[in-house]
Each structure stands twice: as structure tokens, then as C-alpha cells.
């Protein structure tokens, strides 16, 4: 999985007054949980989170603090201002190379469905899937191959090939399916009527 670097500064004062001052200065207060020690409080410029927050993609994060300290983490929670949509606060969870982590990643459709080529419509039921893996094995996306989907078929999580990670969904979870389009249904109905219609004798 691709990683984004966020440069920040540790802070000791976490009161409301200092937090408000930081936000007014264009900074975002953040916390890293999950480490062997207590939570780490730091701040970073709001613009530093642009490629992490405002994207459908999922990334891990390397938090670089003053003094050369680096922390591998993932975004766990984010709070926005209800009116301005400015970032108010971000929670991170620290990653360790030998500990599996659970994360939702987007799917990526691959192949050409036979059912779609025949006039069907592809419906995507789950655009993100929950995976569990070691940080080094976290995928950027889950590839979903629809090449064998005929008209009316469904593709389940059990049909997806995974490599070094697990999908945390029930076996009957539908990822996508090919539905019969209205145009295809109408054509089939008209063809059926034509087949039943009596032929006129010459």
C-alpha cells in the first residue's frame, strides 16, 4: 500500500485554548494511539492532509516529528467543522510490522463481463471491502474480475482471489452483479411475443 508522509510537531499543551489557537493558525491537532507508550499528540498544517483525506484511495502514513522521530500509522478517525468542513481533529493508529491491521480498501473492477456485453447492467454492491493483513501486505485495492459474469449472475467475496490478506465478510456477501437492463428485458419480451404469434397462411 502506498504511503504518505506527514510532517508535524509534538505538543504538550492540549487544552481548549491552545487547540483553538492552533486551528486559527491553520494547524490541525492530531493524536496517535496504539503505541506501547501513551498517546502522542502532535500538530501539522491542514494542507498536509489534502492527499490523505480528499481522495477515494487509502494510504498508510509516515508521521515525521521534530528530532527525526518517525511513526507508521493509519488514519482512524477525522472530525470536520459542521459548517466550513475544515478539519478539526484527526486520530491515527500506530502500525507495527508484526501486527495485522484491519482496513477498508476500494475495489477495482477488471475484465469485461459477458453479461454486460450482452446488454446487462453492472451493479456494484460494495465499493470497499474490509481486509486484514500485516502492514506490508495491505493492498491498494481489491481486484474484482468480472469476466465470467453472465446476465443475472452475482459475484461473491468467495469468488475473489486474495494474496497475503483476508477478506472479513460473510461468504454470501455480494460484491457486484449483472442485472438485465430495461432495454434487454423489453427486447426479450418482444422476441417472446413474436415467437408465440401465429403465422399467417399464404
CATH number at residue 170: 2.170.120.20
Q: Which of 50, 68, 95 is the last residue of a domain?
A: 95
Give a yes or no: residue 73 inside a domain.
Answer: yes
pLDDT of residue 192: 61
Structurally, how many domains does the chain consist of?
2
Is there a single domain that holds both residue 20 and residue 86? yes
Is there a single domain that holds both residue 46 and residue 24? yes
Kindly report, residue by residue over 101-111, the tens digit of the pLDDT.
Answer: 999 999 999 99
Q: Which of 61, 95, 129 is the last residue of a domain?
A: 95
Contact 180, 153 (CB under 8 A): no
Percent of the chain at pLDDT exceeding 70 = 89
Give a yes or no: residue 199 inside a domain.
Answer: no
Give a yes or no: residue 193 inside a domain.
Answer: no
Is there a single domain that holds both residue 83 and residue 124? no
Give a yes or no: residue 151 inside a domain.
Answer: yes
Is there a single domain that holds both residue 107 and residue 84? no
Question: Which residues are CB-neighbours of 130 under 8 A, at least 6 positions away?
Answer: 102, 103, 104, 167, 168, 169
Q: Which of 95, 110, 143 is the last residue of a domain?
A: 95
Kindly report, residue by residue over 135-151, the tens digit of the pLDDT.
Answer: 999 999 999 999 999 98
Mean pLDDT, all residues of the chain: 88
Is there a single domain that holds both residue 76 and residue 34? yes
Higher pLDDT, 116 or 202: 116
Query: d(Cα 78, Cα 109) in Å, to the nearest integer?
Result: 28
Residue 85 pLDDT exceeds 80 = yes
CATH of the domain at 42: 2.40.240.10
Of the candidates 29, 24, 23, the one whose C-alpha atom is nearest the C-alpha of residue 8 is 29
Distance of CA 183 to the CA centre of its chain: 33
- Stretch 19-40: mean pLDDT, rounded? 86
Is there a single domain that holds both residue 90 and residue 58? yes
Is there a single domain that holds both residue 126 and residue 80? no
Query: d(Cα 109, Cα 142) in Å, to the nearest integer?
Result: 9
Q: Domain span at residue 111?
A: 102-182
SS3 per-residue string spanning 92-160: EEECCCCCCEEEEEEEEEECCCHHHHCCCEEEECCCEEEEEECHHHCCCCEEEECCCCCCCCEEEHHHC
Give a yes or no: residue 195 inside a domain.
Answer: no
Is there a single domain that holds both residue 154 and residue 113? yes
Is there a single domain that holds both residue 88 and residue 124? no
Q: For residue 116, count other CB atoms closer than 10 A to its CB.
A: 18
What is the gyration radius of the CA atoms in the chain, in angstroms? 25
- Stretch 152-166: mean pLDDT, rounded? 93
Is there a single domain that holds both residue 90 and residue 8? yes
Residue 21 pLDDT exceeds 70 = yes
DSSP result, 16-42:
HHHHHHHHHTTEEEEEEESSSSS-EEE
Residue 198 pLDDT exceeds 60 = yes
Higher pLDDT, 186 or 48: 48
Instruction: Please state the pTM of the whole predicted model.
Output: 0.79
Higher pLDDT, 11 or 14: 11
Amino acid at each position: 500500500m502506498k504511503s504518505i508522509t506527514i510532517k508535524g510537531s509534538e505538543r504538550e499543551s492540549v487544552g481548549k485554548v491552545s487547540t483553538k489557537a492552533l486551528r486559527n493558525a491553520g494547524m490541525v491537532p492530531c493524536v496517535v494511539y496504539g503505541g506501547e507508550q501513551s498517546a502522542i499528540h502532535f500538530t501539522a498544517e491542514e494542507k498536509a492532509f489534502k492527499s490523505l483525506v480528499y481522495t477515494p484511495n487509502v494510504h498508510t502514513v509516515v508521521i515525521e516529528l521534530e528530532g527525526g522521530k518517525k511513526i507508521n500509522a493509519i488514519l482512524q478517525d477525522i472530525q470536520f467543522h459542521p459548517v466550513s468542513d475544515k478539519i478539526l481533529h484527526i486520530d491515527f493508529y500506530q502500525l507495527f510490522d508484526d501486527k495485522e491491521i484491519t482496513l477498508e480498501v476500494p475495489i477495482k473492477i477488471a475484465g469485461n463481463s459477458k453479461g454486460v456485453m450482452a446488454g446487462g447492467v453492472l451493479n456494484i454492491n460494495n465499493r470497499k471491502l474490509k481486509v486484514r493483513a500485516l502492514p506490508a501486505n495491505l493492498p491498494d485495492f481489491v481486484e474484482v474480475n468480472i469476466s465470467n459474469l453472465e446476465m443475472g449472475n452475482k459475484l461473491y467475496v468467495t469468488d475473489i482471489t486474495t494474496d497475503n490478506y483476508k477478506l472479513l465478510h460473510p461468504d454470501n456477501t455480494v460484491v457486484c452483479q449483472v442485472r438485465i437492463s430495461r432495454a434487454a428485458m423489453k427486447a426479450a419480451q418482444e422476441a417472446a411475443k413474436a415467437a408465440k404469434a401465429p403465422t399467417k397462411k399464404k
